[in-house]
C-alpha cells in the first residue's frame, strides 16, 4: 500500500499545487492581518455590537475574499482527489493484469514440465 501512495504522490501535479499555494497563503494572511487591524466595534449599553455601513462593507469584502480562497483550495483538493481515483483505477487494472500473467506463467510452467517429462 505504501508503494501506491508513493506513486500517487509522484503523479500529483505539484507544480500546480505549489503555484496555487502562495495565493491561498497570501489570502489567508491578508484576512488575519485585517482581523488584527480591525478596530474594536462600538457597542451599546447592553454590550451588543453596533454595525456601521463601513463595517458591513468590510465584512462583505472579507467574506468574498474568504470564499475565493476556499474556492481555490477546493479546486486544488478536487484535482488531487481525481488524480488519486485515477491511480486507484490504474492500480486495479495493473493487479488484474499481473494476476492474468501469473496464471499464464503457471499454466505455461505446468505445460513445459508435463511435456518435458513425456519426452
pLDDT digits (tens, 9 = 90+) for 27-86: 777 777 777 776 777 777 787 877 888 888 988 988 888 888 888 888 888 888 888 888
Report which of 60, 67, 69 is spatially closest to residue 23, judged by C-alpha positions: 69
For residue 26, being part of any structural domain is answered with: no
For residue 69, being part of any structural domain is answered with: yes
For residue 21, being part of any structural domain is answered with: no
Mean pLDDT (whole number) for 85-98: 91
For residue 5, being part of any structural domain is answered with: no
For residue 75, being part of any structural domain is answered with: yes
| pTM greater than 0.85 (yes/no) | no
Q: CA-based angle 70:74:78, to the nearest 5? A: 175
Q: Read off the pLDDT of residues 5-31 as tens digits, 9 standing for 90 and up.
A: 666 666 666 666 666 667 766 777 777
**Segments forming the whole domain that contains residue 77:** 54-81
Count of domains for the chain: 1
For residue 101, being part of any structural domain is answered with: no
Gap between the Cα atoms of 97 and 4, Å rounded: 16
For residue 36, being part of any structural domain is answered with: no
For residue 63, being part of any structural domain is answered with: yes
Amino acid at each position: 500500500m505504501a508503494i501506491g501512495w508513493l506513486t500517487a504522490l509522484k503523479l500529483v501535479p505539484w507544480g500546480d499545487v505549489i503555484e496555487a499555494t502562495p495565493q491561498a497563503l497570501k489570502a489567508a494572511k491578508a484576512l488575519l492581518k485585517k482581523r488584527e487591524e480591525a478596530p474594536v466595534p462600538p457597542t451599546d449599553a447592553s454590550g451588543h455590537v453596533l454595525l456601521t455601513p463601513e463595517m458591513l462593507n468590510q465584512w462583505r469584502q472579507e467574506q468574498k475574499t474568504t470564499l475565493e480562497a476556499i474556492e481555490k483550495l477546493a479546486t486544488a483538493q478536487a484535482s488531487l482527489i481525481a488524480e488519486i481515483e485515477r491511480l486507484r483505477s490504474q492500480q486495479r487494472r495493473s493487479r488484474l493484469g499481473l494476476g492474468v500473467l501469473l496464471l499464464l506463467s503457471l499454466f505455461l510452467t505446468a505445460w513445459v514440465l508435463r511435456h518435458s517429462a513425456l519426452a
